[in-house]
Amino acid sequence: MADNVPKTEEESLPTLNAGTQMFQDLDANVSATEVESLCMRCEKDGTTKIMLTRIPHFKSIILLSFECPHCGLKNNEVQSGEALQEKGHRYELRCSTKADLSRQIVRNNSASVSIPDFDFTAPPATNSMLTTAEGLISRFVEDLSMDQEQRKEVVPEVYAAIETLLEKLRNSLLLPEEEGGEGSEYAFTMVVDDPSGNSYVENLCAPNPDPKLSVHYYRRTREQLIQLGVLNPDAEDVEQLEQQKKAHFDMREEMRAAESVMKAVKEASDSNEVLSFPANCSSCNSPCDTRMQMVDIPHFQEVIIMSTTCDNCGYKSNEVKCGGAISKKGKRITLIIEDKEDLSRDILKSETSSFNVPELDLDMVAGTLGGRFTTIEGLLRQVHDELDRRVPFLEGDSAVQERRQRFEKFLSRLEDAADGKIFPLTITVDDPMAHSYIQNIYAPDPDPNMTTVVYERTFEQNEDLGLNDINVDNYAQEEEQETKE
């Protein structure tokens, strides 16, 4: 009899013990929580299933599924369980074949979708969804087609305009199988703009950059912050500006703070000490320690190595930050690897550098993996492990078998290269900040297998690095004036 007693909402919800992660990895052991909820159609009790999980391409998400046994109403929804990203993301996708229409897209409810070729923009939705480019367009067609008969009678000019747009949207689904085929004139560009930074568009060329997909990062405007609920729209602009000023350090104060930290790290390194300070794990948010020490790389410069280990969930991370002034020029280092000894060379890949190995079809853009100080073999293994765990849409029932096999073959070649089974290899590290380094085993003599090219940064590179906005006019005079005061 006790088994037939319905559970209350409080009893059905999962309880989390200390150290238990709320968002667990998606696998067969992750179960959904069922709660009774009101059906909005028949106003009787239905069932909502809730699953808190983490998937590689979207981190933490909330899956919701509602079904009413009385009237048959069903509804599925995906919500982001992530905090706001540091910057907003804008994806620009050029669709010219059927494969582009099949790209999977995570559209957060804060993201707008536009097709500039059609002068069409869809505002942020009421809920998030996991769909494809074709699914988004089909949804737009379905929504715009509603009430068209009424518009034809009441506002015929609006009806005609929407019909023209519907025709363009329907034609966009007739793209050819291959480039240049019949229907290629219907190619278009889709833009997914998400101020929260929690949307995603599938990269069909992973792990390499996709020539049809570009990602831009930007600082949010005041209107976008209001849209996300970060700012109060009813407050005065002056008050909002004051709050923003309080939320951000003055640049000079930030520089002084950085200098004091660098001084403390250098003093600790001189005495062979490792600095340790409290932090929170980025995986489970439990308290953990981050360790920091400065290391002097011969024939290069001093760098700061940081390492974080979480005793609760086992998460580990390490990163390298380069100190010193900003270089006036960029640097491109190319090394030809001919034997296993070359794999043991030290390499510093800064967070601003790209990493390229043409023999493996490996092309990593700047920012991938962050800063790393390791050996060439170690870097190849780290790339292998990161790609094996984090590349999206290559596991589960959403994966395309052909792409999965091609990716597995790529990972196998990458592992063989790290094991010293593939020679020669050409490694290129391109760093516009000139903060990257590959060990010269012939130092101080030139390395016959290594070439270094120093070049002028382009305007676009300076823009991405934030150097075009730096204003140092009268900076010394202002510093002297502050010192006198």
pLDDT in tens, the chain (485 residues): 334 334 444 444 444 443 445 666 655 566 788 999 999 889 899 999 988 877 654 467 788 899 999 998 988 877 767 777 778 899 999 999 999 999 989 888 899 999 999 999 999 988 778 889 999 999 999 999 988 889 989 999 999 999 999 999 999 999 998 887 776 888 999 999 999 888 889 888 877 788 899 988 888 888 888 888 877 777 655 555 555 555 444 445 555 655 666 566 666 656 677 778 788 887 677 888 888 887 777 666 677 888 888 888 777 777 777 766 778 899 999 999 999 999 999 998 988 889 999 999 888 888 777 788 889 999 999 888 887 776 656 555 556 677 778 888 888 999 999 999 999 999 999 999 888 889 998 888 999 999 999 999 998 888 877 787 776 565 555 555 555 55
Q: Which two tokens stand for residue 427?
A: 């490694």
| Pair 265, 282: CB distance under 8 Å | no
Q: How many CB atoms lie within 10 A of CB 142?
A: 9
Q: Which two tokens stand for residue 67?
A: 């079904």
List Cβ neighbours of 243 (8 Å cut-off, separation of 6 or more): 231
Residue linked to tokens 């990593």: 364
Q: Which two tokens stand for residue 304?
A: 């700061």
Cis link prior to 444 (omega < 30° from 0)? yes
Query: Virtual CA dihedral for 296, 301, 306, 307, nearest 10 degrees?
Result: -60
pTM for this predicted structure: 0.60
Which stretches does DSSP call E strand in 73-128? 74-80, 88-95, 104-107, 112-115, 120-122
Q: Which two tokens stand for residue 325?
A: 């002034």
Alpha helices in 184-250 (DSSP H): 222-227, 237-247
